[in-house]
Amino acid sequence: MWDITRRLYPGHPVWPGDTPFTYELTWKMAEGASVNVGKIEGTTHLGTHLDAPYHYDPAGERLEAISLSVLVGPCRVVDARGQAALDEPFLRTLDDLPERVLFYTGQPGRWKTFPETFTHVTPAAAAYLASRGVKLFGTDCPSVDPLDSKTLEAHHAFRRGQIYILEGLALEGVQPGTYELICLPLALEGADASPVRAILR
């Protein structure tokens, strides 16, 4: 198995202005408690996470409406390093795409700071993936749109194509090829997103 989930730690970089991640013990055996109990706080878009359509569409599905069948099954890891953007011409070079496709663009497996530049996706590329029957798009980048995007054109293009978005994967060191993806979000009712534990087998 290959764990493709970013490890979470206090100070883990988050989208500029979003809720920082913290973990602390509220009950401590060292201070006389019978058990250690921790408290976590942070954005739903922390590290490796799954976007629900509600994140960018007020009428979109909430997290619990996403079928687990989309999140488990055959997938392909594609080496997309060197691409300024994932565009349709590049995608047309790929054969035999399964319903789940993950793109390694060269992001490191551990972020020391939040990346300000990364490989975004063009709306035409999202539409092309939908035409190929893709249901889940994964990237090692923090978003499918550029950091300064206000219109989120790629997000909306994936929405039109009924493709779910998995962001922030840790794909460094994973060889391109075919795997089984197991990607499970927390069961957060009504949520816009959730951190996930994602593995390849």
**Active-site amino acid positions:** 55
pLDDT digits (tens, 9 = 90+) for 82-106: 999 999 999 999 999 999 999 999 9
Residue 192 burial (CB count, 10 A) = 18
Spans of all domains in the chain: 2-200
Q: Tell me, what's the pLDDT at 123?
A: 98
pTM > 0.85: yes
Binned at pLDDT 50, 70 and 90, residue 187 comes out as very high
Q: CB of 144 within 8 A of CB of 105?
A: no
Mark the binding-site residues, compressed into ranges.
Answer: 15, 45, 49, 51, 155, 167
Query: Stretch 101-125: mean pLDDT, rounded?
Result: 97
Question: pLDDT value at position 82?
Answer: 97
Of 90, 94, 93, the residue nearest 124 (C-alpha): 90
Rounded to the nearest 5°, which phi and psi values hold at 99?
A: -70, -20
> Which residues are known binding-site members for Zn(2+)?
45, 49, 51, 155, 167
**Checking DSSP bridges between strand 164-167 and strand 136-139, what pairing results, if any?**
parallel
- The reported pLDDT for the residue numbered 107 is 98
Domain 2-200, what architecture? 3-Layer(bba) Sandwich (3.50)
Tell me if residue 88 falls in helix, strand or coil. Answer: helix
On the 0-12 / 13-18 / 19+ scale of CB atoms within 10 A, 51 is buried
Who's near 130: CB < 8 A, 6+ residues apart? Answer: 158, 160, 161, 162, 163
* pLDDT tens readout for residues 33-86: 999 999 999 999 999 999 999 999 999 999 999 999 999 999 999 999 999 999
Mean pLDDT for the chain overall = 97
At 137-165, the pLDDT tens digits run: 999 999 999 999 999 999 999 999 999 99
Please give the Cα distance from 58 to 156 (Å, whole number).
12
